[in-house]
Structure 1
Amino acid sequence: MPERLVPGDEAPDFRLPDAAGNEVALRDFRGRHTVVYFYPAAATPGCTKQACDFRDSLTALQAAGYEVLGISPDPVAKLAAFAAAEGLTFPLLSDPDHAVAEAYAAWGEKKNYGRTYEGLIRSTVVVRPDGKVTLAQYNVRATGHVAKLLRDLQLAG
């Protein structure tokens, strides 16, 4: 597993299908700040809360020059249903083989109820317009994460 990203690292480029099946690449967002967040599974309680928090903060983020990309191992059809059900207007990307999550160190050992397994680590990486990492947060909580991120980016009090 790659080491966790730190500010100043080059963000690994990627190309993944979105909920509509269109290819989206990180390089498409060069020139803009981009929040890339990794979540374990669409339509689960925590992931829904987090996605809706991003949805509800999207206007403030975009006004400050930030775009949002959500990445999970879910298939495109599940992402489409999730986006429609929750009114999500930012791209949700499908990473079924978790190669992008691995490149971002967002895939690895997890522990839950005494069980150890490999899975997606809820993480957020903010990428500068030049493609370098500004902020990398791992093992974030679904609830309250977006509010903390806004504070960390000095976009909220």
Structure 2
Amino acid sequence: MPIPQTGHPAPDFQLQDQNGNDVKLSQLRGKNVVLYFYPKDNTPGCTREACDFRDEHSALRSAGAVVLGVSPDDIKSHQKFATKFSLPFPLLADTERQVCEAYGVWGEKSLYGRTFMGVTRATFLIDPEGKVARAWPKVKVQGHVQEILQLLEGGAPAEPPAVAKAPAKKAAAAKKTPARRG
């Protein structure tokens, strides 16, 4: 299935978290939901992403968001992962991959010349009305959580171009200044 587009209703679902609790997206109406999909518990990139969400969890909550992580791993795997890294948010077990497919993140991947089926790292910001406010279809872990937080804290779509110009000026200034050798 294609990735849900901005402004379209987010596909509803019900999955169990690492503690066996049912989590239904429609029950979170009225809140912003950060729904992030990741390939596998306890792998380097997924651990870093989960820990980034953990480290910014209180700021994300203060900005009015609920964080949900989703992967095809089972509840037991999620329990171990959440406990090992003190993750304060639900990890949802999509063992049948129905939610991954509904969000267009399950498909063919390749790594080191090998092709296989898997989850593409992606994040969806779902607004209080249950619509996709923003989609990140191919997430790069570094800086991703901060980008979401900035958007939630009022960094509306009009702001990023202005923010993007400032570092470019610094970069241009840095190029003009010769590096010192010591």
Normalised to the residue count of structure 2, the TM-score between the two structures is 0.81
Change beyond 3 A, Cα 1:112–1:152: farther
Q: Considering fraction of residues, name the structure with more strand.
A: 1
Q: Distance in 2 between matches of 1:78 and 1:142?
A: 21
Tell me the C-alpha RMSD between the 2 structures.
Answer: 1.5
TM superposition shift of 1:109: 1.7
Letter in 2 for 1:35: V
TM superposition shift of 1:152: 4.0
Aligned ranges 1:26-41 → 2 under 5 Å: 26-41=25-40
* Residue 46 of structure 2: aligned partner: 47
Aligned-pair identity in percent equals: 47
Aligned ranges 1:4-15 → 2 under 5 Å: 4-15=3-14
Change beyond 3 A, Cα 1:110–1:70: same
Does residue 91 (structure 1) correspond to residue 72 (structure 2)? The answer is no
Deviation >3 Å, runs of 4+: 151-157
Report the structure number with the largest CA radius of gyration: 2
Conserved? CA contact 1:18–1:92, under 8 Å: yes
Q: Distance in 2 between matches of 1:117 and 1:152?
A: 34
Conserved? CA contact 1:31–1:130, under 8 Å: yes
Q: Considering fraction of residues, name the structure with more helix.
A: 2
Stretches of structure 2 that go unaligned for 5 or more consecutive residues are 156-162, 164-182
Stretches of structure 1 that go unaligned for 5 or more consecutive residues are none
How far does the alpha carbon of each residue in 1:59-100 deviate from its partner, in whole angstroms, 9 at most, with x for none? 111111111000010110110111111011101100011110
How far does the alpha carbon of each residue in 1:31-65 deviate from its partner, in whole angstroms, 9 at most, with x for none? 10000000011111111100010011111111111
Letter in 2 for 1:64: A
Q: Distance in 2 between matches of 1:3 and 1:150?
A: 26
Q: How many residues are matched?
A: 156
TM superposition shift of 1:147: 2.0
Normalised to the residue count of structure 1, the TM-score between the two structures is 0.93
Larger RCO (CA under 8 A, 6+ residues apart): 1
